[in-house]
Chain A
Amino acid sequence: MAKQYAFYFDANSCIDCKACQVACQDKNDLPGGVIWRKVIEYGGGDWVMQDNVMVPNGIFTYALSTSCMHCQDPICVHVCPSGAMTKREDGIVLVDEDLCLGCRYCEWACPYGAPAYRPELGVMSKCTFCEDLLAAGENPACVDACVTRALDYGELSELQAKYGDLAEMAPLPDAKLTSPSFVLTSYRASQATGSRVGKIIDLAEEF
């Protein structure tokens, strides 16, 4: 059994197509407005006048597909008042919708915005790492969906051996907060966590 399931993301490949986001919604039969995986478009740079011509200066964009990080130090589990939020032996963090009170404290606490409130049910919901598919020997829906093969998954230590141990880039928060079970390959223009060079290009309603 895995000790810590983790996702891998290649920022050089992602095209913000949201096949992963929608595949997850489909597999989990989520309402259209509830997402467990999101894709964020981040970018920056500016235009400067040179010889009376506006020229692009360091324009960059990149996308980031992110879901629950199944953190090694999951703050959602620590703050949950009912014990609904738990972490399994294989590292997957799950919310038990029957125990959940819908207080949304986990949503407040999570630095990745992973827990998703279900207004029609009055409880929280979140990425399950497709643990039912894993048990059947299949891959998470998002990983199989990615049209540019930007997503992978596996045992965290194996992903780190293969891809390195980078687990943060702007706009993600500092990995030291909750030790996300996550590895990413940065893009040439990836901005470090904490950088103020760029900003999120999406509209808030997408998240």
Chain B
Amino acid sequence: MEEHSKLENVGRDDEINRRSFLKWSAAVGGTAAIASQLSFGFVPANTNRAAEPGKWVFSACWHNCGGRCANYAQVQDGVVVRQKTDDTHPDSPDYPQQRGCARGRSQRHQVLGVDRLKYPMKRAHWAPGGGDKELRGVDDWVRISWDEALDIIASETRRIIDTYGNKAILTPRLSPSRILNALGGAMQSWGVSSAGAWPQPSALMAGNLNLSAPDRMTYRKANLIVLWGSDPAWSSAGDPTYNYQQARNAGAKFVFVGPLHSNSVQTLADEWIPVRPGTDAALLLGMAYHMIDNDLQDQDFLDTYTLGFDADHMLEGTDPEENLKDYVLGTYDGVPKTPEWASEICGTHPRTIRQFAEEIARTRPTIFIGGAAPARTQNGQQFVQAFLTVGWMTGNVGFDGAAVCNNYHSSASYGGPSLVKPGGSGLESLGNPLFPRGGSGYAFAYPEDTDFYAVAYEEMWDAILNKEFTATVRGKQPCDIRMIWTVTHGSGGNALNQVAGIMKGIEAYRSVEFVVSSDIVLSTRSKYADVVLPDTTPWEDEAGGFLTGNPEVLFFYSQVISPLYEAKDCGYWFERELARRMGLDPDAIYSSTPQQQTFNQLAGASVIKEDGSGYEPLLTITADDIAAMGVEGKPQGGRISLSEFKEKGVYQVERKPGDSFIHTPGVAFRQDPEANPLSTASGKLEIHCQALSDKIAAYGFNTIPPIAQYNPPIEGYQATFEDWDNKVKGEYPFQLVTLHYMRRSHSVFDNITQLRKAFPEGVWMNPADAEPLGISHGDTVQVSSQHGTVIRPVIVTTRTTPGVVILGEGAWFEYDENLGADKAGATNTLCGTHPTGQGEEPWNTTIVRVDTWDGPALEADYTWPQRVPIKE
């Protein structure tokens, strides 16, 4: 309560006055919680290969963070003492440095923290077959040798394959390790996470204008840039927001649409249009109505380049009544999709809907960017269909400064092909026999196949518990999963934390016979495992490697420190050791070393020619270079020397306005659509897309119409009411939006104290919602859904839309048995599994309630202890 009143005081005083600061410091700085990230007296096991004392080494920043930036580590006596970001050339808007974010700048704490996994471990109460499986997640850990770990894994894997078959091994959200594929494969998972429902509509409706955006310089030519459901400031770290600021400075007007007045809105937007999660399609249809009603659409463009807009322009064989215009006008369903109709659903004022429709119809050139967040909703296809339709109605396609696109993650503000890229590794593919055309499973595009055995992300835990899964066109098929394998070289793959339904996921984890994981720290996927292997990080990889992000830059990281303690590469090294124990030839798993693979990528690295007419080799490689790397290869000439590239770690193509690297999507199609058809069924942009409707049906979860419509999503806005007509709220009156939060890259970095200090993982709530509940800024509150409960501090702010509650995704699930809740605020405790569409994960359609919390207030996250499983 004392904490509460201090914050109230601060909230009312607009100044940081002396007394407030003292109180804050006393409460916060004076407590015992100087967390353990002080020391780097952490001595690596073998310093022989460390860089020269005091030397700056380009160090990997390898995360799925929405960016990719330059990070250097300064190494003294084998220990990293400091980091810095890009300073390889003077910084300018045209030729910007690739500056890293708070997360990358905390990388050394992740690599060298006291919580780094040092030894293989097994659960104290594990035995073959699982032992006491209920203790998964809460058991003690016992240090074991690598020999014992490998023997356990070999024996359990062999036993499970022999007893139940390869289909009994699940690799959630990961490609199986090559050795599993060599042993006969495993049950992989498939679906779409970041991109939501974008891939299939974009491919089938837009063909080779799929996800296409203009190059960075061309953004400055737009008069209007719309970012719909997009927050580059926090979702695409690095340069994108700086790039957008150049477009702002050049005179582009920015309009943002979304539930949150985000930091992107604050720096870029001329206007912010609020909308409820999962209702964007309704808003778009209301805009379409206004355009049609006032004849504002670009009819010539629609007639020439699209199909399905009206009854006169339908693909042969389709029902002419299924056209978009008549749906919007309500010709057949009797419901005109007026701005008033839309407003009741989406919460945007009808006047705003009309004004916005006018604006996009009348402004050229416009870049109309659809984000992924509105597509990460149940029935998310309808957003993409509506977004592309309305964008095409404005005709902003195929000329300078215009685009209708999805432009996000590390490519935000950067359209066009890669200007510099690595070569191939030369490692032959070793695919999963159970999933021949699956690839990694991400955006799996072949639901018509009948020869595969793989489960949708949203169905994995149910598949384990209910012993059946949706095998797309074959419908429900039986399955019997006995083992979970999350061994891989690299971060992420934290499926138990990052897929909806954590409570159910834990039940699933506790039901199988064997769970094995690799990790660098004890993240959720390892906390609930039986055997955990300590992985090396890319900072310890002897061969170094490549990283890519935006199209203008290529990174090469070198080894920074020797592998720590007993950490080993849980790809190459582990799999070859396991192969030996399982009667396989290690060379059949990896026929070439990491050094050779890296060399092949270096030799094949290419950069665009100055005149943009093609690519040329990037690197000059000498015979001495090849001998020094201990690999096979031939000397070659290129633009820069290998040693210069390795030392700098960055090659960035220098750009100037008017250079040869301009990219405008759709120009050829616009100039001559007959000669340059798109790869859609009709060759045109398909507002009515039967192929899409058929494709979604094939996935086996639900069906969608071939045109944009609004159909209320499961756990969408309508679901917050028990009586929609009279607007009586039900048990879960609020909608949850899961935010990309700068504390982490999804779940990676959650254990870093200085990031917890910077980003406290508060739940954001509008005072219109908080005040009637007696909730004040800084209180601890309970947020619950049909699927679970979390406890968090609350930030009461008008920057979020009434009715919408916002929480950063990726916090490490931390269940407290006494409280009956997750006190970390993992959003997947709240989000339920809803297999849907093309396998996208509909986090942004989740309904919740918020209640005051009578239990003990939470300690600030940055005071929580690290997870150190083996104490010494």
Partner of A33 from B29, B352, B795 at Cβ < 8 Å: B29
Is the C-beta of A35 less than 8 angstroms from some C-beta in chain B?
A: yes
Is A205's CB under 8 angstroms from B768's CB? no
- Give the chain B neighbours of A117 by CB distance below 8 A: 25, 29-30
Binds B, one of A8-16, A83-91, A92-100, A157-165: A8-16
Known: A53-B349, A200-B11, A205-B860. A147 touches B28 (CB 8 A): no
Is B100's CB under 8 angstroms from A61's CB? no
In the complex, the chain B residue whose C-beta lies closest to that of A120 is B34
Partner of A111 from B16, B106, B241 at Cβ < 8 Å: B16
Known: A17-B237, A113-B21. A173 touches B16 (CB 8 A): yes
Known: A15-B264, A17-B101, A23-B105. A204 touches B28 (CB 8 A): yes
How far apart sit A60 and B263, CA to CA, in the bound complex (Å)? 10
Known: A59-B798, A204-B10. A26 touches B16 (CB 8 A): no
Is A148's CB under 8 angstroms from B241's CB? yes
- B355 CB, min distance to chain A CBs, angstroms: 12
Is the C-beta of A22 less than 8 angstroms from some C-beta in chain B?
A: yes
Is the C-beta of A103 less than 8 angstroms from some C-beta in chain B?
A: no
Binds A, one of B392-400, B545-553, B753-761: B753-761
Known: A108-B18, A110-B21, A145-B105. A204 touches B27 (CB 8 A): yes
- Give the chain B neighbours of A45 by CB distance below 8 A: 798
Is the C-beta of B108 less than 8 angstroms from some C-beta in chain A?
A: yes
Binds A, one of B82-90, B195-203, B677-685, B847-855: B82-90
Interface string of B265-298 (1 = CB under 8 A from A): 1110000101000000000000000000000000
Interface string of A129-146 (1 = CB under 8 A from B): 000000000000100111
How far apart sit A41 and B757, CA to CA, in the bound complex (Å)? 15
- Give the chain B neighbours of A184 by CB distance below 8 A: none
Known: A17-B102, A43-B798, A111-B17. A203 touches B760 (CB 8 A): yes
Is the C-beta of B7 less than 8 angstroms from some C-beta in chain A?
A: yes
- Give the chain A neighbours of B343 by CB distance below 8 A: 53
- Give the chain A neighbours of B766 by CB distance below 8 A: 47
Is A46's CB under 8 angstroms from B798's CB? yes
- Give the chain B neighbours of A30 by CB distance below 8 A: 754
Is the C-beta of B160 less than 8 angstroms from some C-beta in chain A?
A: no
- Give the chain B neighbours of A116 by CB distance below 8 A: 25, 29
In the complex, the chain B residue whose C-beta lies closest to that of A58 is B798
How far apart sit A59 and B259, CA to CA, in the bound complex (Å)? 13
Is the C-beta of B68 less than 8 angstroms from some C-beta in chain A?
A: no
Partner of A32 from B3, B22, B37, B91 at Cβ < 8 Å: B37
Partner of A29 from B34, B81, B106, B753 at Cβ < 8 Å: B81
- Give the chain A neighbours of B753 by CB distance below 8 A: 31-33
- Give the chain B neighbours of A34 by CB distance below 8 A: 29, 34
- Give the chain A neighbours of B349 by CB distance below 8 A: 50-51, 53, 55
- Give the chain B neighbours of A110 by CB distance below 8 A: 18, 21
- Give the chain A neighbours of B14 by CB distance below 8 A: 42, 170-171, 191, 194-200
In the complex, the chain B residue whose C-beta lies closest to that of A197 is B14
- Give the chain B neighbours of A107 by CB distance below 8 A: 21-22, 25
Is the C-beta of B476 less than 8 angstroms from some C-beta in chain A?
A: no
Partner of A206 from B13, B352, B760 at Cβ < 8 Å: B760
Is B34's CB under 8 angstroms from A204's CB? no
How far apart sit A199 and B7, CA to CA, in the bound complex (Å)? 11
Is A44's CB under 8 angstroms from B30's CB? no
Which residues 818-872 in B have Cβ within 8 Å of A in the complex? Answer: 860-863
Partner of B742 from A18, A199, A203 at Cβ < 8 Å: A18
Is the C-beta of A19 less than 8 angstroms from some C-beta in chain B?
A: yes
Is A108's CB under 8 angstroms from B22's CB? yes
- Give the chain A neighbours of B350 by CB distance below 8 A: 51, 53
Is the C-beta of B245 less than 8 angstroms from some C-beta in chain A?
A: yes
Is the C-beta of A185 less than 8 angstroms from some C-beta in chain B?
A: no
- Give the chain A neighbours of B267 by CB distance below 8 A: 12-15, 148
Interface string of B340-353 (1 = CB under 8 A from A): 00010001111010
In the complex, the chain A residue whose C-beta lies closest to that of B249 is A12
Is the C-beta of B161 less than 8 angstroms from some C-beta in chain A?
A: no
- B660 CB, min distance to chain A CBs, angstroms: 27
How far apart sit A53 and B351, CA to CA, in the bound complex (Å)? 11
In the complex, the chain A residue whose C-beta lies closest to that of B238 is A147
Interface size on A, residues (CB 8 A): 81
Is A22's CB under 8 angstroms from B15's CB? no
- Give the chain B neighbours of A60 by CB distance below 8 A: 261, 266
- B500 CB, min distance to chain A CBs, angstroms: 27
Partner of A19 from B6, B100, B795 at Cβ < 8 Å: B100
- Give the chain A neighbours of B768 by CB distance below 8 A: 47, 54
- Give the chain A neighbours of B38 by CB distance below 8 A: 31, 120
How far apart sit A167 and B773, CA to CA, in the bound complex (Å)? 40
Is the C-beta of A153 less than 8 angstroms from some C-beta in chain B?
A: no
Is the C-beta of B242 less than 8 angstroms from some C-beta in chain A?
A: yes
Interface string of A64-108 (1 = CB under 8 A from B): 000000000000000000000000000000000000000010011
Is B863's CB under 8 angstroms from A54's CB? no
How far apart sit A17 and B352, CA to CA, in the bound complex (Å)? 30
Known: A47-B798, A56-B274. A203 touches B263 (CB 8 A): no
Is the C-beta of B555 less than 8 angstroms from some C-beta in chain A?
A: no
- B408 CB, min distance to chain A CBs, angstroms: 16
Is B758's CB under 8 angstroms from A21's CB? yes
- B248 CB, min distance to chain A CBs, angstroms: 9
Interface string of B60-100 (1 = CB under 8 A from A): 00000000000000000000011111010001000000011
Is B100's CB under 8 angstroms from A31's CB? no
- Give the chain B neighbours of A198 by CB distance below 8 A: 14
How far apart sit A18 and B193, CA to CA, in the bound complex (Å)? 27
- Give the chain A neighbours of B6 by CB distance below 8 A: 204
Is the C-beta of A201 less than 8 angstroms from some C-beta in chain B?
A: yes
Is A26's CB under 8 angstroms from B30's CB? no
Is A59's CB under 8 angstroms from B82's CB? no
How far apart sit A191 and B15, CA to CA, in the bound complex (Å)? 11
Is the C-beta of A63 less than 8 angstroms from some C-beta in chain B?
A: yes
How far apart sit A123 and B417, CA to CA, in the bound complex (Å)? 54
Is the C-beta of B799 less than 8 angstroms from some C-beta in chain A?
A: yes
Is B16's CB under 8 angstroms from A112's CB? yes
Known: A113-B21, A204-B778. A33 touches B105 (CB 8 A): no
- Give the chain B neighbours of A144 by CB distance below 8 A: 84-85, 87, 99
- A135 CB, min distance to chain B CBs, angstroms: 16
Is B862's CB under 8 angstroms from A43's CB? no
- Give the chain A neighbours of B623 by CB distance below 8 A: none
Is the C-beta of B446 less than 8 angstroms from some C-beta in chain A?
A: no
- B557 CB, min distance to chain A CBs, angstroms: 18
Is A22's CB under 8 angstroms from B758's CB? yes
Known: A51-B349, A193-B15, A204-B27. A26 touches B263 (CB 8 A): no
Partner of A16 from B17, B27, B263 at Cβ < 8 Å: B263
| A and B contact pairs by CB, cutoff 8 A, 26 listed | A19-B102, A22-B105, A32-B862, A33-B753, A40-B16, A51-B349, A54-B802, A56-B798, A56-B801, A62-B266, A104-B22, A104-B25, A111-B17, A113-B16, A117-B30, A119-B30, A170-B14, A193-B15, A199-B12, A200-B14, A201-B797, A203-B760, A203-B762, A204-B10, A204-B27, A205-B862
Known: A33-B33, A196-B14; 15 extra A-B contacts, CB below 8 A, are A17-B233, A23-B105, A41-B263, A44-B798, A53-B348, A61-B261, A147-B237, A147-B242, A148-B242, A173-B17, A200-B11, A202-B795, A205-B862, A207-B24, A207-B28
Which residues from chain A sit less than 8 Å from chain B, CB to CB?
A: 12-19, 21-23, 25-27, 29-35, 39-47, 50-51, 53-56, 59-63, 104, 107-113, 116-117, 119-120, 141, 144-149, 170-173, 187, 191, 193-207
Which residues from chain B sit less than 8 Å from chain A, CB to CB?
A: 3, 6-7, 10-18, 21-22, 24-25, 27-30, 33-35, 37-38, 40, 81-85, 87, 91, 99-102, 105-106, 108-109, 233-234, 237-239, 241-242, 245, 261, 263-267, 272, 274, 343, 347-350, 352, 742, 752-760, 762, 766, 768, 778, 793, 795, 797-799, 801-802, 860-863
Among all A-B residue pairs, the 10 with the closest Cβ atoms? A32-B753, A113-B21, A205-B860, A32-B754, A15-B233, A22-B102, A15-B263, A18-B758, A32-B37, A18-B102
